[in-house]
Chains A and B, each alone.
Chain A
Amino acid sequence: MFSSDVIVIGGGLVGTAVAYGLGQLGKKVMVLDEGDDAFRASRGNFGLIWVHGKGRGVPHYARWTRESARQWPALAARLQDETDIDVQARQNGAFNLCFSEAELEARSERLATVRDEVGGDYPYEILDRAALLQRLPHVGPKVVGASYSPMDGHVNPLKLLRALHSACNQRGVMLKTGHGVERITHADGVFTAHVRDQQFRAPKLVLAAGLGNARLAGQVGLHAPVRPNRGQLIVTERCEKLFDYPTGHIRQTDEGGIQIGESMEDAGFDDSTTTSTLAELARRAVASFPMLGRLNVVRVWGALRVMTPDGYPIYQESTSCPGAYVVTCHSGVTLAAAHAFRIAPWINGAAAPEELDAFRGDRFPAAEHPAQALDHHHAY
């Protein structure tokens, strides 16, 4: 039997960011993670820190995302300082390319709406083709314009995961892999996570188990109806520097590979790739930057997003089992700073950040219901 102040279930970007934040607050934290056969969004994602365009109609989400991006430089600096790992966070802004006047018009309208909904402090620009060519000289002839925002950036998500693990270790956070939690019980104010014949006990428990939250939440009086949403990605051979900025679908990694994403599809728990989707991603990439057509592809992969019915996160403490929290989202990179610096203090007993009202899991009906059309590509 192991005891700690807090058990975090899930050792991905969400769980380790929360655990890192709790470790910084002096808490004794146990992270229970599955093995390498788990579906791991944290090892398949694209790596954008993305703000502009997100959260139309949900200003709490636009603010939550923006504030996390604002705190990202502090997170990157601390991780570098504590672990010597440069996660390659580059927040020089990002572009969203448009291929028709109608698309550019819709983009402009969306951004104006979000800006007004958050109260005006929301820097972005709409660029016509001539203005865009000044910034991105390699765009293809079919690109009619773009939106640009200095709020955005990108990061090496694998280095981020490694840095968070390393920083957790240095803070004394215990991290056990191959420890998939089978069930959780709650008695006398203490939670017990059962892993085979082992028991882990703590007065607080955080569900950050990605797709596993759907099964675990009900055991502690929470509701997290998350479903997998597959994204497929491509990475090319490394080449000399082409882009200083990511677009919503293309970024050059710190080591030179061009990463091309990303699709959205409902494929259940199938994280494989399909030629038709990859071909569509490649076609869009070549239309965006024709020279990409000359590069060799070295790897393709699929990964499963952790998606709620409306696409927004769930952050909630259980009413029937106080001390149990659910923390789940599909933007573990962008929101890593919010999870470390704002969610962790809340779990430690500080007042809830005001944005959290919008993200309760009980906003979803208890019964299964058909998925809504999602408005949640990171760029939109």
Chain B
Amino acid sequence: MPTEPLFRPISAGAEPFIDVEFDGRRLAVPGQRSVAAALLVAGVSRFRSTPVSGAPRAPYCMMGVCFECLLEIDGVANTQACLVTIQPGMKIRSQEGARRAV
């Protein structure tokens, strides 16, 4: 497991950090970008596991096409994290396998 984030902002320090909750823990992430980009910068490398084999997945296309970045965001399962802007206080959970429907 990498311990350093794979990504860093080009203009370091420009955006204020905000607090969100990720899998029950407080996490400081840069604001003014997508949930996917913010979590990647904060060092999150595993966003979800697949419904069929349980393999780990992380964002790939970052433009709404590949559906690899699915997260549960504020209670909504299977949300495409690259299409949602990060907000202070968001409750985010990794999407473990198939979503519940009931």
Which of A's residues lie within 8 Å of B, judged by CB? 138, 237-240, 242, 255-256, 258, 291-292, 294-296, 298
Check: B51 CB closer than 8 A to any chain A CB. yes
- Give the total number of A-B pairs whose CB atoms are below 8 A apart: 31
A295 touches B101 (CB 8 A): yes
Q: List 16 A-B contacts (CB under 8 A).
A: A138-B102, A237-B99, A238-B51, A238-B98, A239-B98, A239-B100, A239-B101, A240-B97, A240-B99, A256-B51, A256-B52, A256-B98, A258-B101, A292-B101, A294-B101, A298-B67
A242 touches B101 (CB 8 A): yes
Q: Output the residue of A239, A242, A258 with the most chain B CB within 10 A.
A: A239
Cα(A242)–Cα(B99), bound, Å: 11
Q: How far is the CB of A258 from chain B (nearest CB, A)?
A: 8
Q: How far is the CB of B27 from chain A (nearest CB, A)?
A: 26
A240 touches B78 (CB 8 A): no
Which of B's residues lie within 8 Å of A, judged by CB? 51-52, 67, 78, 97-102
Q: Closest residue to A294 on the B side, CB-wise?
A: B101
Q: Output the residue of B51, B78, B101 with the most chain A CB within 10 A.
A: B101
Task: Known pairs A255-B51, A291-B102; list 11 more (Cβ under 8 Å).
Answer: A138-B102, A237-B99, A238-B51, A238-B99, A239-B100, A239-B101, A240-B101, A255-B52, A256-B51, A256-B52, A294-B101
What residues of chain A lie closer than 8 Å to B101, measured between beta carbons?
A: 239-240, 242, 258, 291-292, 294-295
Could you say which of A138, A239, A255 contacts B99, with CB atoms under 8 Å apart? A239
What residues of chain B lie closer than 8 Å to A238, measured between beta carbons?
A: 51-52, 98-99
Q: Closest residue to B100 on the A side, CB-wise?
A: A240
What residues of chain B lie closer than 8 Å to A294, measured between beta carbons?
A: 101
Q: How far is the CB of A33 from chain B (nearest CB, A)?
A: 29
What 3 A-B pairs have minimum CB-CB distances, sorted nearest first?
Answer: A239-B101, A238-B51, A256-B98
Q: Output the residue of A242, A294, A298 with the most chain B CB within 10 A.
A: A294
Q: How far is the CB of A335 from chain B (nearest CB, A)?
A: 29
With A138-B102, A242-B101 known to touch, is A296 a contact of B52 (CB < 8 Å)?
A: no
Cα(A291)–Cα(B102), bound, Å: 6
Cα(A74)–Cα(B51), bound, Å: 29
A237 touches B78 (CB 8 A): yes
B102 touches A296 (CB 8 A): no
Cα(A294)–Cα(B51), bound, Å: 18
Q: How far is the CB of B31 from chain A (nearest CB, A)?
A: 26
What residues of chain B lie closer than 8 Å to A138, measured between beta carbons?
A: 102
Q: How far is the CB of A291 from chain B (nearest CB, A)?
A: 5
Q: How far is the CB of B66 from chain A (nearest CB, A)?
A: 12
What residues of chain B lie closer than 8 Å to A298, measured between beta carbons?
A: 67
Q: Closest residue to A242 on the B side, CB-wise?
A: B101
Cα(A292)–Cα(B99), bound, Å: 12
Cα(A240)–Cα(B78), bound, Å: 12
Q: Closest residue to B99 on the A side, CB-wise?
A: A239
Q: Closest residue to A292 on the B side, CB-wise?
A: B101
Q: How far is the CB of A50 from chain B (nearest CB, A)?
A: 24
What residues of chain B lie closer than 8 Å to A255, measured between beta carbons?
A: 51-52
Could you say which of A240, A291, A292, A296 contacts B98, with CB atoms under 8 Å apart? A240
Q: How far is the CB of A61 from chain B (nearest CB, A)?
A: 36
Cα(A75)–Cα(B21), bound, Å: 51
What residues of chain B lie closer than 8 Å to A237, measured between beta carbons?
A: 78, 99
What residues of chain A lie closer than 8 Å to B99, measured between beta carbons?
A: 237-240
Q: How far is the CB of B1 from chain A (nearest CB, A)?
A: 27
Q: How far is the CB of A298 from chain B (nearest CB, A)?
A: 8
